[in-house]
Amino acid sequence: MKNKLHACIIDDNDSESISLLLKKEFPEFEIDFQTNNIQFASDYLSKNSADILFVDIQLSDETALNTLSKFRQNPYSPIIFIADSEISAIRAIKEGITDYLLKPVTNLEFVLTVNKAIEKFKKNKLNLIHHYQNKINLPTLQGFKRVNVDEIIRCEADSNYTFIYLLDKTKVMVSKTLYDFEKNLSEYNFFRIHHKHLINLEHLKEYIKGKGGQVIMTDNSVLDVSIRRKNEFLHKMI
């Protein structure tokens, strides 16, 4: 049995049409809330969350925009807008809505759009879980600092120690070799460009050509790429 997904419907015309389509084509959905009153929707979304929001309202209304803004605070939940025209649809996309359907909505278009939204929802949620799970401990003299691997910009070797440079501009000295970090972080898109430098490729800003070349990181540090690692580095970046 599929896991239940939770939907909310805001429709100032006929919410039953969206509701009936959803129940018919996607029985795995539970409709937690549906209304034609934008203020009721605003109050509900300020206290509750949903997996997908269906919207068929006029976006010229500031209250409507504020309601959508509350829903967008959920980082992984898509919004599907039911539009009367291409102009309305474009306005919806500008307001950060995930996708839209033009009236009259056909069953096929509805199914394709909702399936795409479900895939986006699942992918975003998985990425969010992945983000919170990927934490490591950095041992310090006082104990340890727990950080997400995404916060690490680069690691720099200093004999049997390693300096870890973080997004918050702090530098942590750890009594482990750079090789230890290379083994543990390579699966998270880190690459050793030099015997002294292991970098998070997500924080790479620029590569400058040269014998080995240099990289510029998001903290504006400029690091050498060894001649020996250059080809492998460039191949990985293509």
CATH for 5-132, options being 3.40.50.2300, 3.40.50.2000, 3.30.70.3340, 1.20.120.1200: 3.40.50.2300
Q: Report the pLDDT value the prediction gives residue 157, as an integer from 0 to 100.
A: 95
Q: How far is CA 172 from CA 12, 95, 195, 222, 230, in A?
A: 55, 40, 19, 19, 27
Backbone angles phi, psi at 4, to 5 degrees: -70, 140
The one-digit pLDDT tens for each residue of the chain (238 residues) are 356 888 989 887 655 688 889 999 999 899 998 888 878 887 887 777 788 889 887 765 666 666 666 565 555 678 888 888 887 777 777 766 778 888 888 999 999 999 998 888 887 776 655 555 578 889 887 888 889 898 999 999 998 899 999 999 999 999 889 998 998 898 889 999 999 999 999 999 999 999 999 999 999 999 999 999 999 999 888 7
- Give the model's pLDDT for residue 120: 83
pLDDT in tens, 93-106: 776 677 888 888 89
171 close to 158: Cβ distance less than 8 angstroms: no
The pTM assigned to this predicted structure is 0.51
pLDDT of residue 1: 39
Q: What would the 3-class secondary structure string for the chain be?
A: CCCCEEEEEEECCCHHHHHHHHHHHCCCEEEEEEECCHHHHHHHHCCCCCCEEEEECCCCCHHHHHHHHHHHCCCCCCEEEEECCHHHHHHHHHCCCCEEEECCCCHHHHHHHHHHHHHHHHHHHHHHHHHHHCEEEEECCCCEEEEEHHHEEEEEEECCEEEEEECCCCEEEECCCHHHHHHHHHHHCEEECCCCEEEEHHHEEEEECCCCCEEEECCCCEEECCHHHHHHHHHHHC
Distance CA 159, CA 168 (A): 25
Enter the tokens of residue 163. 């300096």
pLDDT at 154: 97
Token pair of 80 as six digits: 């599907």
Whats the size of the chain, residue-wise? 238
- Longest CA span, the chain: 69
Gap between the Cα atoms of 49 and 66, Å rounded: 15
Assign domain 136-237 to its CATH superfamily. Answer: LytTr DNA-binding domain (2.40.50.1020)
Question: Is the peptide bond between 104 and the residue preceding it cis, with omega within 30 degrees of 0?
Answer: yes
pLDDT, tens digit (0-9, with 9 covering 90-100), for 42-54: 788 777 778 888 9
Domain boundaries, the chain: 5-132, 136-237
* Side chain identity, residue 226: S
Q: Cα–Cα–Cα angle for 106, 21, 6, nearest 5°?
A: 130
